[in-house]
Amino acid sequence: MDAEALLEAWRRILPASVSVWAAPFAQTAAPLSAAERRSAGDIDVGRRRELENGRQVAKRALAALGVAASDLPIGKDRAPQWPEGIVGSLSHAGSYVAAAVARSSAVAALGIDVEVDGGLDPRLWGGFLNAPEQARLLSVSPALRSAEAKLLWCIKEAAIKAARRRVEPPEIEVEPESSSEGVALWRIGFGIATAGRPCWHGRSIRSQGFVLAAVTVEAIPLPEETASSA
């Protein structure tokens, strides 16, 4: 695994306003703080190692943004409780972990996901793809369908994290927009569950045996902010 190449791939699919850090699991990651341990509850060694590595890369990403954070406890939605004025997202696949953070004044919503590249069992497709997506998938060469399904799963996971609320994967509508130099752009809608919400946009890339996806929504300046900057 080329960790630097993977980090560069993340930067290619995330806006410059987002700080990202990613790395293979460290054998000796910094231990959880007291608040983080309490929020985790009764967990096994494997889960504790995941949390320690996740918090370590998240704090590196925050430091690069100029934000110091000693505690990132688990919230009620099981996501990290980010510092005030910060949005963020964590993801891991196997022994690789990534964190992306941004100031909420620049980014209103942020979600990332990483998956091991490869196929996804066709028996799982109906659980997260809607009818148009399944039809589109069947139009792809049979040899590519399983890998394309994994890519769609990755994009939807990133969208769910960005939404920060419960939404079923089939309710998320994902359509390809364009692709350039290995980066694919996606149009993301939320169907009936979020009727009236503008479409979001995501990006994905394949690198070093992984699929990476990011969904970001820029913050909209308040009217007075717009007027004062004119």
- For residue 68, pLDDT over 60 is answered with yes
Residue 223 lies in a domain: no
Residue 213 lies in a domain: yes
Model pTM above 0.75: yes
| Domain enclosing residue 176, as ranges | 117-218
Region 86-114: what's the mean pLDDT? 96
Q: What is the mean pLDDT of the chain?
A: 90
Domain match, 84 and 127 both: no
Cα dihedral 33, 38, 42, 46, rounded to 10, equals: -20
Final residue of a domain: which of 111, 146, 179?
111
Centroid of chain to Cα 230: 34
- Helix (H) or strand (E) segment spanning residue 211: strand 210-218
Let me know how many helices (H) and strands (E) the chain has, helices first: 6, 8
- For residue 41, pLDDT over 70 is answered with yes
Residue linked to tokens 């694919």:
184
Residue 224 lies in a domain: no
Q: What is the pLDDT of residues 155-212, one digit of tens each?
A: 999 999 999 888 889 989 999 999 999 999 999 998 744 444 567 999 999 999 999 9
Residue 228 lies in a domain: no
